[in-house]
């Protein structure tokens, strides 16, 4: 198998900002710190978004069974006609339920 010949279907330009960890003292709170390098990456994304009159899209990724259990990334928002689907609220049956072993808010 030639690993160098794989071509992505889409161009991922999002930058990872931080991982989120469950707070030990406050139920329902997760925290993470954006370090200096990632802060510079976020500033670059914000400037790029402002330059083209767009916002910044923030992504919350679930990392089942891994540490940290969640990651946050950001990218320049796409133009309306390029968006795949209308954004919808997270439904109760999504993977953020209380029975998940990587649930952010279990004690």
pLDDT at 87: 65
**Taking 70 as the threshold, does the pLDDT of residue 90 lie above it?**
no
Q: CB atoms < 10 A from the CB of 73, how many? A: 19
Q: What is the DSSP string of 17-40?
A: EEEEEE-SSSTT-EE----HHHHH
Joined together, the tokens standing for residue 98 give 């209380």
**Residue 30 and residue 104: Cα distance in Å, rounded?**
7
Q: Which residues pair with 75 in a beta bridge?
A: 57
Report domain extents, the chain: 13-79
Per residue in 49-66, pLDDT (tens digit) is 999 999 999 999 988 888
Per residue in 5-50, pLDDT (tens digit) is 434 445 678 999 999 998 889 888 889 999 999 999 999 999 999 9
Q: CB atoms < 10 A from the CB of 47, how many? A: 10
């Amino acid at each position: 198998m030639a690993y160098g010949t794989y071509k992505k279907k889409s161009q991922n330009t999002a930058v990872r900002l931080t991982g989120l960890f469950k707070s030990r003292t406050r139920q329902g709170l997760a925290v993470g710190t954006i370090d200096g390098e990632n802060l510079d990456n976020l500033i670059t994304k914000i400037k790029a978004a402002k330059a083209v009159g767009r916002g910044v899209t923030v992504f919350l990724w679930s990392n089942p069974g891994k540490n940290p259990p969640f990651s946050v990334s950001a990218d320049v928002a796409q133009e309306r006609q390029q968006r795949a689907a209308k954004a919808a609220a997270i439904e109760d049956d999504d993977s953020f339920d209380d029975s998940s072993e990587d649930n952010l808010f279990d004690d």
